[in-house]
Structure 1
């Protein structure tokens, strides 16, 4: 099955609330490859690669915040050709 890679910038209350940890758990459950990291401007950046149905489920969950303590106010999604490799981890 063909895969797609997207770069996602998530804004809102997304740092200091377990957002990266919950995103990693979500990605692993949906078999999404990539990474998540905090940006200096307070946003969280995600590179996610997977098949279309899994990627859509992942994006939908990220938009609602994968952790109950977060509050997502904006999501920017851009398709990219970057290869994230295998597995899903936090970048620092």
Structure 2
């Protein structure tokens, strides 16, 4: 189980993307956090069983109804991830 650091670009701020992501990650039993960045991207760290992380990544590419996801940059996260999933 490795954590992932994500930078999500597109129309992802002001459309409920973070709240939607918190609900979906919680439903999948994942840990991590999500926050808006000043450059308009959403940043997140996601940790959990690989099938659940992959399921979330599939959902993140579509996003909620009002969002438009143009890109997701993904790298591995080496720092510890606390349990639960929350907004920062």
TM over 0.5: yes
- TM-score, L = length of structure 1: 0.93
Q: Which residue of 1 aligns with 2:48?
A: 50
Structure 1 residue 11, shift from structure 2 partner: 0.3
1:58, distance to aligned residue in structure 2 (A): 0.6
Gaps of 5+ in 1: none
RMSD: 0.6
TM-score in terms of structure 2 length: 0.97
Q: Which runs of 4+ in 1 moved over 4 A?
A: none
User: Which position in structure 1 is the counterpart of 2:76?
Assistant: 79
In the comparison of the two structures, how many residue pairs are matched?
Answer: 88
